[in-house]
Amino acid sequence: MNVRQKLLGGYLLVALMVAATALIAWQADNASAERAAAQEAARVARGIAKDIAHGLPVAGGAVVTPLYYSPAALDSYLQRLHTTQHRDVVVVNQGQYILGDVIAENVGSSFDHDSGDEVGRTIADGEPRVFVETSEDYPDGIKQVVVPIDNRSGLTIGAVILEYTPLYDAMMASARQARTIILSSASVAMLLVLALGFVLARSVTRRITSLTTAVRVIRSGDYSHRVPPTGRDEIGKLAVAVNSMAEKLERSTKEILAKEYTDSILANAGEGICGVDATGRIAFANEAAGRITGLGVDGLLRREAVLVLGSLAAGTTEELLQRPDGTAVRVEYTVSLIEKMGAVIVLRDVSRQRALEYDLRHQALHDGLTGLPNRKLLLDRLEHALVRSRASGEQIALLYLDLDGFKRVNDSLGHNAGDLLLRTAAERLTAVLRPHDTVARLGGDEFAVLLEGASPPVVEALSTACLAALAEPFVVHGREALVTVSVGVVPDAARYADADEVVRNADVAMYAAKDQGKNRYLIFENRMHEQLLSRLDQEARLRAAVHRGELRVHLQPVVNVPENRMHGVEALVRWEDPERGLQPPGTFIPLAEETGMIVEIDRWILREACHAVRQWQLHSPQTAPDWVSVNLSAAHLELADLTDQVAYALAATGLPPQSLVLELTETVLMRDVAVTSARLQELRELGVKIAIDDFGTGYSSLGYLRDIPVDVLKIDRSFITGLVGNGRQQELVSAVMQLGHTLGLRVVAEGVEDADQLALLTVMGCKFAQGYHLGRPEPVGSLYGRLVAA
């Protein structure tokens, strides 16, 4: 608290004491008026109580009857008081029941307007009391006084309640003038005290404030501030002393700051700064310079500058600086010559900046997973190679590689395994190619190889080497994974307009290699581009075929050989292509599997087959097949909601679950035995049967028959084709049938093409067979009509 505040506080305290004295006097006067009003009201009420208890005097000395016992006289008395004296009186008995009231309706009721039971207590102890009656009619309250009614024997027989609000208001009004005088006098006294305190405080504190302000400004570093000299008293002498001190501080500070400012700039600069004298030796160095060079400040001082940096030519230079500890740092330094004094050298450590620039360039042009050049860098190198090839006549070639079966590995073993396989594939490709060849990853499982100085024999040899390198098994997380590669080759690439055309043609050749069976390389031919366009057109039309209703269901009978009658059917899909007519599965199913459309086709054939067979069972149960087999693709088996889809198809068509057989090939079943077994078990719990299709073409081991829940074994047609006249093959087929029967499986021989094969299978004990000899696939209506008519 400053001096001014203390002075003002003292005078304010005096003013508050005056105000407190006035407030006490005001309160005392107010209390006195209230007390006088209550006492006067009580006196009047006692007189009324005496009149009521003893009666009014009557001339002639007659006996006076107390009003208390005469309701009519009491009412007349109260009405007269109300009319002549404007007094409202209520008379109650000892039980607080109203004996008399100006308002006649209240007579006989209980008086309960005293929230503190003042009336009851007055009757009990004979002491007068005051209270405020509140009600809905008088929300501000009515001041009441209650006094006891004592009879001539001194016994309390009731009470008189008198409203004294008018009397209270009159007495408070008479006291208001006195209170006004008290408050006015106190206010004048307070103002005079405060005015005197303000004038004196302002006079003293103005000069003290000037001094404290000067001291605060000087302490903050502004030594130019001065205090105006005022008076010859102690405050004036103190002002002179402060001014003298400020002048001395100002002179000293200017000298100190001049040096500290320069030293601070040099010492705290992020760049290294060295001062070189006229002899070429370092005379000054800051901490940054010592840190960058690794010599420290002491190690730089008096050292020849050329021994540290190598050159003192004016300008900016960048070089690799060797430090005493054996490390190296890339330094950019600028030399500014000062005539007759030497030079100033500013150094910057640009190692991180250059490393970051290199990393950014490398990331922009290289694949993050394998570290190989990416598509952008490949195209850049290919463009330059094309220019060199056209100028020198040197042949160049481009290989476009796509891994076959990579998606299967990625889906079954996980993305981490897929990434490891891609890195290993990149290492193998780099190992079998020449050092100056460029191996690039284009994305996903696609790679490209730029061969410079490569004649056709070299191109073919390196293409074959790539096939061989990637055909070797990959060990991924302790498991073997097999993939192959399809390679599109564009030799003599300089014939084409630009790098984009070369890459496109190599891509087309790669797809042609896939179409021809994968795991091979093909050299680009112009017709391949036309074939690719045709394939894209077919893909677009196939996507729309399901929605346009162009797919058809054909059924092929499965015959019970001993009974020589149809026991079941296999549902096969056909495409009614508006442009090419009815297409067999081999012309579009591979494309559907490659593009993912096979799942949608599988769903359609499942619903249609279930519907067709169920309708047949309802309309002609004697000729209807007991079951229908539907093929499931690998992609469909991997769907999490496969069981729900099958359950929905059965529920929607009404086909009994035991009438549906789902066929999967050995290869599909063995992709992940644990997952496959769990999925097939879910389907079997619906009541659906599971069949192994094309048995014998996939895995040579029969052990998986024990682990995978299946119901039907279908022997592949390749075993039946050469069956007649081949004793070894007959023994093999017979063994497979016996194995199936032993395991409780239904065994079906596929591909029965003639009577000799059927006869031989009958001798072997084959119970079920299908093939063109027993019935070709045909539309549902055709097969139904033929069997019903028979």
> Over 373-416, what HEC string results?
ECHHHHHHHHHHHHHHHHHHCCCEEEEEEEEECHHHHHHHHCHH
- DSSP letters, 582-636, are EE-GGGTHHHHHHHTTHHHHHHHHHHHHHHHHHHHHHH-TTTS-SEEEEE--HHH
Q: What is the structure's pLDDT at 263?
A: 65
Q: What is the structure's pLDDT at 306?
A: 83
505 vs 382: CA distance, rounded Å: 14
181 vs 23: CA distance, rounded Å: 12
Q: Which two tokens stand for residue 216?
A: 């605060």
CA distances from 657 to 394, 556, 618, 688 (A): 68, 20, 15, 5
Q: What is the structure's pLDDT at 36?
A: 83
Is residue 300 helix, strand or coil? helix
Residues 6+ apart with CB under 8 A from 611: 652, 653, 655
Is residue 316 helix, strand or coil? strand
Residues 6+ apart with CB under 8 A from 654: 614
Is residue 256 helix, strand or coil? helix
Q: Which two tokens stand for residue 521?
A: 């390389």
762 vs 756: CA distance, rounded Å: 10
Is residue 726 helix, strand or coil? coil
pLDDT digits 0-9 by tens, 729-770: 889 899 889 988 888 899 999 999 999 999 999 999 999 999
Count how many Cα atoms sit within 13 Å of the Cα of residue 662 in the half-sphere of its side chain. Answer: 32
Q: What is the structure's pLDDT at 638?
A: 81
Q: What is the structure's pLDDT at 700?
A: 44
Nearest one of 647, 648, 656 to 613, comparing CA atoms: 656
Sign for the pseudo-dihedral over CA of 337, 340, 342, 346: negative
pLDDT digits 0-9 by tens, 522-536: 998 878 777 677 777
620 vs 625: CA distance, rounded Å: 10
In the chain, what is the straight-line distance between the N-terminal and C-terminal CA atoms, in Å?
122
- What are the phi and psi torsion angles at 364 (to 5°)? -70, -25
Nearest one of 41, 89, 38, 43 to 68, comparing CA atoms: 89
Burial of 331 (0-12, 13-18, 19+ CB in 10 A): buried
Strand partners, 346: 273, 334
696 vs 714: CA distance, rounded Å: 9
pLDDT digits 0-9 by tens, 687-707: 999 998 878 765 544 556 667
Nearest one of 629, 609, 626, 608 to 617, comparing CA atoms: 626
Q: What is the structure's pLDDT at 350?
A: 86
CB 238 within 8 Å of CB 38: no
Q: Which residues of the chain have pLDDT under 50?
A: 700-701
